[in-house]
Amino acid sequence: MASHRRPKQPSRARVTVLTTAAAAAVALSAQAASAAPSEKPSKDEVKSKVDKLYQEAEQATEKYNGAKEKQDKLEKQISTLQDKVARGQDELNQLREGIGTMASAQYRTGSIDPSVQLFLSSNPDDYLDKASTLDQLSSQQVEALKKIQEKQRELAQERQEASDKLKDLAATRTELGKKKREVQGKLAAAQKLLNSLTAKEKAALAAEQSRASRASERSVLGGDTGSASSRAGAAFSAAQTRIGSPYVYGATGPTSFDCSGLTSWAYAQAGVSIPRTSQEQANIGTRIYSVNDLKVGDLVFFFNDIHHVGLYAGNGQILHAPRTGTVVRYESMNTIGGPFMFGVRV
């Protein structure tokens, strides 16, 4: 028979312990909830993270510039090859027409040689390889066939070269798109961080940058402005006219620039053509490893992978296009954010 006894009630002491534990758990949960949101990063922390993102964006920008330059070169080369193929095909058609006229003349006189049929063949190689056939041809006919043979081989090579370059172009365009997305991603992340700052903090950062730029400008104006050469001086003078122009990745002027876009534009104004990217610019001219030996207008390179370049402005300062969100300006070499690697005198 089932028991109808009442269940044993918990003791007063047990209830007290459970109540205390529950209260403690609630308190801990409340503390965890209040601590869950991470503390807002300081202005300096945001600046440090943003600067790092901008450096990464500039690295990707120089790779983007290299892919863009390669794409432009390939497009020009392909266009030239396609023109050559078209002209070569016209020449080949004219050669074949000439041989066809010769065969028609022999046919009308009733003295056409069976071997003349090879003139009309699209592949005379098979016939020319046979000595017995060559014996039946005049020297004029042999020469005409050899010209066709050479033209066909030349066209085949040019078509293959064009085909290879078209494949290379497709791969380069893919790489270009990838680098563009990488740059945009870094810039978006940096902007998101900047948006987390208050208006007061943003104003403080802008004021710091402005003071640093003015200090660099005073240092340049008060220092030795002697240039390494007339063309270096002309390039530097051209870059000075762009002070205040915005940094835009991939831009080469005349109203906006990225770092290597500014240096290549400046030297172009001096009548000197230099490569587009910082890595390529590093491989021209004479390298200078001591800051003390630099002259105004020399190219100066920073970071181990040479992803940033500017123009030496004298007295330890450079004139450059720093990064997104800034303009072409003077800046101390000590505040670039990466080590000075060497200079190049063009």
End-to-end CA distance of the chain: 108
- DSSP letter assigned to residue 138: -
- Annotated catalytic residue within 63, 276, 295, 308: 308
CA distances from 192 to 186, 195, 241, 333 (A): 10, 5, 32, 28
- Annotated catalytic residue within 68, 165, 320, 345: 320
- Annotated catalytic residue within 137, 235, 238, 259: 259
The answer to whether residue 308 is catalytic is yes
Q: Please classify residue 180 by burial: count the beta carbons closer than 10 Å to its beta carbon, then call 0-12 exposed, 13-18 middle and 19+ buried.
A: middle
Give me the DSSP letters along 69-98.
Answer: HHHHHHHHHHHHHHHHHHHHHHHHHHHHHH
**What interhelical angle do 230-240 and 259-269 show, nearest 10?**
120
Sequence letter at residue 221: L
The answer to whether residue 4 is catalytic is no
Sequence letter at residue 302: F
Angle at 172 between CA 167 and CA 177, to 5 degrees: 130
The answer to whether residue 259 is catalytic is yes
How far apart are alpha carbons 147 and 181 in whole angstroms? 51
Annotated catalytic residues are: 259, 308, 320
